[in-house]
Structure 1
Amino acid sequence: MTLTRADEPQQAAFGLDVAGGATHDVTNQPPPSAPYDASDDAALLEGLRREGAGWAEEDLRRLGRLAGSEEAQEWADQANRHEPELRTHDRYGHRVDEVDFHPSWHHLMRTAVAEGLAGSPWADDRPGAHVARTAGGLVWGHTDAGHGCPTSMTYAAVPALRRQPELAKVYEPLLTSRAYDPGLRVPAEKRGLLAGMGMTEKQGGSDVRTNTTAATPTSEPGVYTLRGHKWFTSAPMCDVFLVLAQAPGGLSCFLVPRVLPDGTRNTFRIQRLKEKLGNRSNASSEPEFDGTVAWLVGPEGQGVKTIIEMVNCTRLDCVMMSAALMRKTLVEAGHHARHRAAFGARLLDQPLMRNVLADLALESEAATALALRLAGAADRAVRGDEKEAAFRRIATAVGKYWVTKRGPAFTAEALECLGGNGYVEESGMPRHYREAPLLSIWEGSGNVNALDVLRAVGRDPATAQALFDELSLGRGADARLDAAVAGLKDQLAVGSQVTARRLVERMALTLQASLLVRHAPTAVADAFCATRLGGDWGHAFGTLPAGSGLDAIVERALPGQG
Structure 2
Amino acid sequence: MPPPPRPSTRTLDPGQDHPHDRHPAPDRPAAGGPAPHPTHEVTNQAPPRVDLDEYGTNLPLAEAVRTFGAGWHEPELHEIGTLVGSGRFQLDTELAHASPPALRTHDRYGNRIDEIDFHPAYHEIIGAAVAHGTHTAGWADPKPGAAVARAASFMLFTQIEPGHGCPMSMSHAVVPVLQHDPDVGRDWLPGLFSRSYDPRLVAPGSKSGLTFGMGMTEKQGGSDVRANTTRAVPLTSDPEGRAHLLTGHKWFFSAPQSDAFLVLAQAEAGLTCFLVPRVLADGTRNTVRIQRLKNKLGNKSNASSEVEFDGTWAVRVGEPGRGVPTIIEMVNHTRLDCVLGTTAGMRQSVSEAIWHARHRSAFGARLADQPAMTAVLADLALETEAATWTSLRLAHAYESGSGESEEMFRRLATAVSKYWICKRGPHHAYEALECLGGNGYTEDWPLARRYREQPVMAVWEGSGNVIALDVLRGIGRTPQSLDVFWAELETTAGASSVLDAHVGRVRRELAEDLRDPLAAQTRARASVEGMALALQASLMLRHAPAASAEAFVAARLGEGRGNQYGILPRGTDAAAIVERHVGADG
TM-score range, shorter chain: over 0.9
The answer to whether the 8 Å contact 1:523/1:549 transfers is yes
Q: 1:183 aligns with which of 170, 184, 200?
A: 200
Matches within 5 A, 1:111-126: 111-126=128-143
- Residue aligning to 1:460: 478
One-letter amino acid matched to 2:535: L
**How far apart, in 2, do the equivalents of 1:20 and 1:114 lie?**
49
> Greater CA deviation, 60-69 or 157-166?
157-166
Given the alignment, which residue of 49, 54, 69 partners 1:33? 49
Map 1:3-42 onto structure 2 (within 5 A).
19=35, 21-39=37-55, 40-42=57-59
Match of 1:196 among 193, 209, 213: 213
Letter of the structure 1 residue corresponding to residue 397 of structure 2: A
Question: CA RMSD of the aligned region, Å?
Answer: 1.3
Of 183, 186, 193, the residue aligned with 1:169 is 186
Shift of 1:436: 0.6
Per-residue CA deviation, residues 105-135 of structure 1 (Å, 9 max, x unaligned), is 0011001111111123211131111110111
Q: Which residue of 1 aligns with 2:337?
A: 317
1:507 aligns with 2:527: no
Say whether residues 1:350 and 2:331 are aligned partners.
Answer: no
Match of 1:250 among 270, 279, 290: 270
Residues in 2 aligned to 1:388 and 1:523: alpha-carbon distance in whole angstroms: 29
Distance, in Å, in 1 between the alignment partners of 2:446 and 2:468 is 32
Q: Distance in 2 between matches of 1:291 and 1:261?
A: 16
1:95 & 1:262 partners in 2: Cα distance?
18
**Unpaired stretches in structure 1, ≥5 consecutive residues:** 1-17
Q: Distance in 1 between matches of 2:544 and 2:402?
A: 29
State how far apart, in whole Å, the 1-side matches of 2:569 and 2:499 are.
18
Query: Which residue number in structure 2 is paired with residue 15 of structure 1?
Result: none
Aligned to 1:278, which of 291, 294, 298? 298
Q: Indicate whether 1:489 and 2:507 are aligned.
A: yes
1:130 correspondence with 2:130: no
Q: What letter matches 1:311 in structure 2?
A: V
Report the TM-score when normalising by structure 1: 0.95
8 A contact 1:121–1:176 mirrored in 2:
no
Task: Decide whether the 8 Å contact of 1:142 with 1:324 is kept in 2.
Answer: yes
Deviation at 1:535?
Answer: 3.0
CA distance in 1, matches of 2:118, 2:531: 41
Matches within 5 A, 1:315-394: 315-379=335-399, 382-394=400-412
Instruction: Indicate which of 451, 454, 465 corresponds to 1:447.
Output: 465
Partner Cα distance (2:37, 2:432) in 1: 37
Q: Deviations over 1:139-166 (max 9, x none)?
A: 1122211100000010011111223211
Q: 1:266 aligns with which of 278, 286, 294?
A: 286
The structure-2 alpha-carbon separation of the partners of 1:384 and 1:517, relative to structure 1 and needing over 3 Å to count, comes to closer
Match of 1:497, SS state, is helix
Q: CA deviation at 1:19?
A: 4.0
The secondary structure found in structure 2 opposite 1:463 is: helix
- Partner AA of 1:336 in structure 2: H
Distance 1:535 1:149 in 2: 40
Counterpart of 1:64? 81
Does the 8 A contact of 2:252 with 2:306 survive in 1? yes
Distance apart, 1:429 and its partner CA: 1.1
2: distance between equivalents of 1:376 and 1:459?
Answer: 23
Distance 2:383 2:180 in 1: 38
Q: Distance in 2 between matches of 1:417 and 1:23?
A: 25
Q: Counterpart amino acid of 1:554? A: V
1:390 deviates by: 0.3
The AA in structure 2 aligned to 1:480 is V
Q: Verify the 8 A CA contact 1:323 1:364 in the aligned structure 2.
A: yes
1:11 maps to what in 2?
A: none
Q: 1:554 to 1:21 in 2, by over 3 A?
A: closer
Match status 1:142 vs 2:165: no
Matched, 1:209 2:233: no
The Cα of 1:515 is off from its aligned counterpart by 0.5
C-alpha contact (below 8 Å) 2:52/2:585 kept by paired residues:
no
Residue 413 of structure 1: how far off its partner (Å): 0.1
What is residue 225 of structure 1 aligned with on the other side?
A: 245
CA–CA distance in structure 2, aligned partners of residues 541 and 471 of structure 1:
25
CA distance in structure 1 between the aligned counterparts of 2:60 and 2:559, rounded to whole angstroms: 24
Q: Secondary structure at the match of 1:232?
A: strand
Match of 1:9 in 2: none
Distance 2:569 2:40 in 1: 42
Deviates more, 1:543-552 or 1:95-104: 543-552
**Residues 356 and 436 in structure 2, CA contact (< 8 A), matched pair in contact too:** yes
Deviation for aligned residue 1:561: 7.5
Distance 2:576 2:508 in 1: 35
* Number of residue equivalences: 544
Counting aligned pairs with the same residue, the percent is 56
CA drift at 1:22: 4.7
- Measured against aligned partners, the alpha-carbon deviations of 1:468-510 in whole angstroms (never above 9, x if no partner) come to 1110111121111111111121022023001110010010001
> Which letter maps to 1:32?
P
- The one-letter code of the counterpart of 2:194 is S
- Taking a change above 3 Å as real, the CA distance of residues 561 and 192 of structure 1, as seen in their structure-2 partners, is closer
After superposition, the C-alpha distances for 1:300-319 in whole angstroms (9 at most, x for unaligned) are 11000001110110000000
- Per the alignment, residue 532 of structure 1 pairs with 556
Residues 175-215 of structure 1 deviation map (CA, whole Å, 9 limit, x = unaligned)? 12111011111111111100000100011111000000000
- Pair 561,499 (structure 1): closer, same or farther in 2 beyond 3 Å: farther
Q: How far apart are the structure 1 equivalents of 2:548 and 2:37?
A: 51
Q: Please give the secondary structure, in 2, of the residue aligned with 1:245.
A: strand
Q: Which amino acid aligns with 1:443?
A: E
Q: What secondary structure, in the 3-state scheme, does the structure 2 residue paired with 1:226 have?
A: strand
- Asked if 2 retains the 8 angstrom alpha-carbon contact of 1:223 and 1:294, the reply is yes
Deviation at 1:23, TM superposition (A): 3.3
Mean Cα deviation higher: 316-325 or 174-183: 174-183
Q: In 2 relative to 1, CA 524–384 (structure 1 residues): closer, same or farther, beyond 3 Å?
A: closer
- Report the equivalent of 1:152: 169
Deviation at 1:57, TM superposition (A): 0.9
Alpha-carbon distance between aligned partners in 2 of 1:42 and 1:232, rounded to the nearest angstrom:
37
The Cα of 1:253 is off from its aligned counterpart by 0.4
Decide whether aligned partners of structure 1 residues 23 and 553 sit closer, same or farther in structure 2, where only a CA change above 3 A counts. closer
Q: Alpha-carbon deviation of 1:25?
A: 1.7
Q: Which amino acid aligns with 2:120?
A: P
Secondary structure of 2:552 counterpart: helix
Query: In the TM superposition, what is the alpha-carbon distance from 1:299 to its structure 2 partner?
Result: 1.1
Work out the CA distance in 2 between the residues paired with 1:419 and 1:97: 43
- The 2-side partners of 1:111 and 1:353 are apart by 37
Contact preservation (8 Å) 1:141, 1:325: yes
- Partner amino acid for 1:437? P
Is 1:498 the counterpart of 2:522? The answer is yes
Q: Distance in 1 between matches of 2:41 and 2:93?
A: 30
For 1:54 and 1:20, locate their aligned partners in 2 and report how far apart those are by CA, in whole Å.
54
Contact 1:398-1:453 within 8 A present in 2 as well: yes
* Matched residue SS, 1:419: coil
